[in-house]
Amino acid sequence: MDRMLVVVFDNDAKAYEAKKALLQLDREGSITVYAYAVLAKNANGTVKVEQGDDSGPIGTLIGTSVGTIIGLLGGPVGVAVGASAGAAAGATIDLDDARIGDDFIDDVSKKLTPNKIAVVAEIEEDWTTPVDLRMEQIGGIVFRRALSEVRDTIHDENVAAMKADLEQMKAEVAKTHTDHKAKLQEKINQLDTKIQAQLQKAKERREAAEKQAQAKVQVLRAKADAAKAKAS
């Protein structure tokens, strides 16, 4: 199952040890790590990306759920550019892109207080024990949440409602006196712009999801090829 993992630590040393432990579990085949970042919560509330995953099929965190989580954890004060500019550049603040509930962000934020540091990773795991044992041994507080599919249902309903309003206003234009037509046409144009923006956003979200899925397939294929090569 694909999951978002956040582990909060008191200091850098523990966080980097945890990152190495996650990658070791990946090499052992216990989990698959698709993307990760080490980030710190500064005294002023900003989130600083200390290190990110800049290699492999997924590459930087731009457009990934990890990048979105970073932006959400930065809150209103945002994200400071740290050692990994690519990771910071991927930090957006769209909860739909994160594919998790806002309660998860709230729970993590309560523990990721100023001067704490966290490891954030998008992983696949069949069971939680391997990660939990290693993270707890190092001294981390573990948060995880299964990632949902890209959420289009609510978006589609919103667009359908706006289109219904648009058709009604267009019908009213034909029956409206001249002095009110200009104002009504302006509302029509504004609503149409919003609809087009929503459609474009949905298209971009689907394309990003497809690219991430393809990248994950490449990761799994590479691991399978490496296992075959080792066995032969």
**Residue pLDDT, tens place only, 183-220:** 778 878 888 888 888 788 778 777 777 777 777 777 77
- For the full predicted model, state whether its pTM sits above 0.75: no
Give the number of other CB atoms < 10 A from CB of residue 168: 10
Closest CA relative to residue 34, chosen from 1, 12, 11, 7: 1
Boundaries of every domain in the chain = 2-146, 153-231
Angle at 100 between CA 128 and CA 124, to 5 degrees: 35
pLDDT in tens, 124-157: 888 888 999 999 999 999 998 887 654 555 566 6
